[in-house]
């Protein structure tokens, strides 16, 4: 029953205490006779004392008992609850934390911690992000800015300008007209994984990609003014290169990208995954607020215009394999290996 598991990938996830691997398999420890979730905080046993099973049922059939510290059998229930809460928030219905937690069967403070651990943001922040996404979709087709704001679920236009306008990186009126007259600066940074194109508007990064140049920038943004980089871009480029060469805590890099509401939800979800951890495409769909949209989440990853800053390299297939990467599987493996080593050094 364990033949379908990639045991090397499972051990790497277990050694790194990768929460993204929770629910994909369980870890059995022969010396103690217990099985754990991959992120269990207990001290790591030696490799030869560990076995991997696809689920709790298989581990129990082999004679192992549940770990009382990490409670691996609770993973599936937690994931279902987070997905259910995300679906409620996706409707735009205003729901207080206490009511939301009660509807999925948890105490408020416990569910707040659970939701943050699974998605990287609080339920309230998630609801705000989803409203902002609905505005971004509604603005181009709406007869007026105010109508788009109310349709997206804002109680008043002032709430939108407080919460969502900064994320759009432009005024709503500009967004409706397609942001004419944009100025984009670019540079090429040398990295150990190859030359890296970094391009940005005054508000943030709009393109980061290996093996591209100014011609590619002009082709991607045909109506923009394309200029060489300046001091501001140089500072952002330094931070991006640092994330390639010595990944640790993600830099809070500003970004200025636009996609469909679903794509932007996926890209925001990617930025919540901590360095040194991975998620499956299915888990990414849950983080983005669209449980079950696994294939679409993979497509949104492929459309990600900003490598490194939006870390789609932290996504694996459901079986633990690397999966595809727009900039090549060797680069994806190298980035994950560097982040895993950093995570082990910090633990």
Catalytic residues: 36, 312
Residue 321 backbone dihedrals phi, psi, to 5 degrees: -70, 160
- Partners of 315 in beta bridges: 279
Candidates 298, 278, 303; CA nearest to 288 is 298
For residue 331, count other CB atoms closer than 10 A to its CB: 19
Residue 35 backbone dihedrals phi, psi, to 5 degrees: -125, 145
| Contact assessment for residue 262 and residue 130, using Cβ atoms and an 8 Å cutoff | no
Candidates 58, 24, 50; CA nearest to 320 is 24
Segments of the chain assigned E as strands: 26-29, 34-36, 50-53, 65-66, 183-189, 196-201, 204-210, 225-228, 279-280, 315-316
**How deeply is 110 buried, as exposed, middle or buried, from its count of CB atoms within 10 A (0-12, 13-18, 19+)?**
exposed
CA distance 279 to 119: 11
C-alpha pair distances (Å), 107 with each of 85, 99, 123: 13, 10, 14
Which tokens is 146 given? 């105010």
CA distance 93 to 95: 6
- The contacts of residue 277 (CB under 8 Å, 6+ apart) are 16, 18, 19, 20, 314, 343
Crossing angle for the helix pair 75-90 and 108-119, nearest 10 degrees? 90
C-alpha pair distances (Å), 171 with each of 159, 165, 179, 236: 14, 7, 9, 23
């Amino acid at each position: 029953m364990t033949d379908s598991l990639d045991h090397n990938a499972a051990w790497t996830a277990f050694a790194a205490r990768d929460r993204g691997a929770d629910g994909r398999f369980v870890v059995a420890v022969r010396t103690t006779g217990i099985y754990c979730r991959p992120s269990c905080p207990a001290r790591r046993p030696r490799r030869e004392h560990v076995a991997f099973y696809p689920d709790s049922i298989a581990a129990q059939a082999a004679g192992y008992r549940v770990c009382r510290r990490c409670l691996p059998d609770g993973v599936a229930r937690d994931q279902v609850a987070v997905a259910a809460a995300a679906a409620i928030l996706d409707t735009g219905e205003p729901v207080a934390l206490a009511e939301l937690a009660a509807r999925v069967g948890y105490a408020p403070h416990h569910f707040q911690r659970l939701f943050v651990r699974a998605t990287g943001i609080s339920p309230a922040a998630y609801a705000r992000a989803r409203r902002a996404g609905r505005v971004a979709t509604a603005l181009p087709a709406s007869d007026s800015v105010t109508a788009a704001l109310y349709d997206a679920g804002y109680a008043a236009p002032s709430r939108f300008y407080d919460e969502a306008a900064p994320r759009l990186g432009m005024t709503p009126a500009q967004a409706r007209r397609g942001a004419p007259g944009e100025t984009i600066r670019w540079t090429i940074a040398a990295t150990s994984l190859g030359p890296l194109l970094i391009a940005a508007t005054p508000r943030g990064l709009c393109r980061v990609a290996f093996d591209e140049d100014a011609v590619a920038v002009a082709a991607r943004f045909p109506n923009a003014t394309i200029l060489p980089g300046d001091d501001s871009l140089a500072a952002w480029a330094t931070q991006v290169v640092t994330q390639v060469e010595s990944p640790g805590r993600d830099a809070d890099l500003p970004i200025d990208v636009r996609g469909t509401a679903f794509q932007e939800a996926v890209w925001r979800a990617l930025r919540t995954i901590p360095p040194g951890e991975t998620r499956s495409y299915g888990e990414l769909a849950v983080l983005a607020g669209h449980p079950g949209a696994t294939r679409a989440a993979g497509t949104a990853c492929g459309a990600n215009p900003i490598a490194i800053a939006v870390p789609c390299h932290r996504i694996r297939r459901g079986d633990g394999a690397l999966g595809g990467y727009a900039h090549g599987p060797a680069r994806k493996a190298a980035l994950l290996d560097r982040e895993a080593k950093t995570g082990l050094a910090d633990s």
